[in-house]
Amino acid sequence: MTAPQDEENRPRPQDEENRQHSQAPQHPPAVPGRPASGYPAAGQVSAAQQPASPVPRAGQPPVRQVHAPSPAQQAKPAQAQAPTAESATVARPATQAAVAAAAAAATPARAQPLAAPDAAGQGPPGTVYDGGQPPGPNGNGHGGVSGRLARLRIGWHTLSRPALAQMRISAPGTGLILGSDRQQKPVAVRMFRPESTRVTLVGGAWAGQLVAFRALALGARVALVAADPQAWHGFGERATGRSDRLTVLGAEQPLALAATPQQPVLVVYDLGVVGAATPQPLGPWQTQLTVLRRLDQPGVPAIQDCNLVILQRLASAEAAHAGGALKLPSNSTQFLQVMAEDMVALVGDGTLRYISLAQTDIEHQHLGAPRR
C-alpha cells in the first residue's frame, strides 16, 4: 500500500518542466516583424516617437522604450531581457529630455532684433536709439526710434565767399495775371512798375472791378474817383474784408498815398466816356486805370496816351474809333465786335493779343458773370 502511494507522490519529469516554466518571467508574444527585445526593426518608428506607449497585457511587466537603436545594434541578434530598475531609471531622464526637445521644436522661434544697441546705447550706423526710454512692447528695452537727429558737424553748413556771392534770393513777381491765352497759359502784365504806368480799359464796370479785385490781391491800395460811386459801394469790404484798402472819392482831388513795391497804389477813374481832366500825378509803383464805359471821340485821347489798352467787345462805332486811334488792321477791328463776353484784347508796345479773363469761383461770387 505504501509503495503505490509513494509512486504517486514522486515528482515526474513533465511536472518539473511545467513548474520551471511557470516560475520563469513571462514575455509578450512575438509580433511578426518586431524583435523580441522590444526595439523596432529597421524602417519602423520607435515607441518614443509614437503618440502613446502600447498597453501591456494583464500579468505582463511594462516595457520601456528609451531610444531607437543604432544600425549596429539592430544587426545583432535580439535577446529577450526582463526590465530592471536600472533601465527604468535611465529611461526616465531620457524621456524627459525627448519631451523637452519636442516642445522646443514646436515653439516658434522668437524674432531677433535687426540691430541691437551696444552698452553705450549707440546702435549701428544709420539707426538712432534713446537709452532713456522704457522697454518697448517686445521687451527689448527700446520703444522705437526716438526721432532725435544727428548733431550738425561744424563746417558742413559754411560756404566760401565766391559761392556766397553767387547766391540770390528770388524776388516775387510784380505781374498781374489778366487771363490765359489760346494755349491756356497765363498772361501777366506789369501793372505796377518802378516808373509811373497808365492803363485804359474800354468796357463796363464789371471788367474795371475785376482788374481792381486782382490788384487788391497783390496787396495794392485802390483810390477810386467815380461819377457813379454807388456802383462801387461796398466793393472794398467784399473783396478784402477791410475798409481801408479802397478809398472812394466824389471828385478829382490830389491824393497823398505813398506807394512801395510791397504795397503799390492803383488810382481808378470811372467817369463815363472821358478820362480825368486833371489826373493825379503819378510816382513809382503807382498806376492809373481809366475806365471808359463807351468809346467815343472824346475818349480817344485816353487810349492814345497810355501804356496799355484793354478792350472788351466793342460796338461797330467803337471798333472804328479804336481801329483808327490804335492803327489796327481791319480783321482785328472786325474780331473786336464778335469777341466772347469773357474775352479782352490787349494792345501795347505795338502788339495785339486776345486772352480769356479766366474768372475764378471767388471772383464770380463777388462780381457775378462776365458782362459789359
What are the start-end ranges of the H helices in 177-225?
A: 205-217
* Dihedral-angle region of residue 369 (phi above 0 means left; psi in -120 to 50 means alpha; beta otherwise): beta
Burial class for 123, CB neighbours closer than 10 Å (0-12, 13-18, 19+): middle
Position 192: which residue type? Answer: F
What is the distance between the alpha carbons of residues 320 and 171, in angstroms, rounded to a whole number? 42
Nearest to 356 by CA among 177, 186, 180, 175: 180
- Residue 270's CB is within 10 A of a number of other CB atoms, namely 22
pLDDT at residue 258 in the model: 85
What is the distance between the alpha carbons of residues 193 and 331, in angstroms, rounded to a whole number? 33
pLDDT at residue 120 in the model: 42
pTM of the model: 0.55
pLDDT at residue 154 in the model: 60
- 116 in helix, strand or coil? coil
Position 257: which residue type? Answer: L
Specify the residue for cell string 513571462: 26
Position 364: which residue type? Answer: H
Nearest to 188 by CA among 346, 364, 312: 346
Backbone φ, ψ for residue 291 (5° rounding): -105, 120
Number of residues that this document lists for the chain? 372
pLDDT at residue 255 in the model: 73
Ranges of residues in the chain with a pLDDT under 70 are 1-159, 164, 167-174, 250-253
How far does the chain reach from its first CA to its final CA, in angstroms?
162
pLDDT at residue 350 in the model: 84
pLDDT at residue 169 in the model: 52
pLDDT at residue 131 in the model: 37
Q: How does DSSP classify residue 157?
A: T
pLDDT at residue 284 in the model: 93
What are 196's three cell numbers? 509811373
Beta-strand pair 221-226/265-272: parallel
Residues 6+ apart with CB under 8 A from 106: none
What is the distance between the alpha carbons of residues 344 and 334, in angstroms, rounded to a whole number? 14
Cα 40 to Cα 50, 53, 55, 73: the distances in Å are 12, 13, 16, 11
pLDDT at residue 299 in the model: 95
Backbone φ, ψ for residue 19 (5° rounding): -65, -40
Helix (H) or strand (E) holding 318: helix 316-326
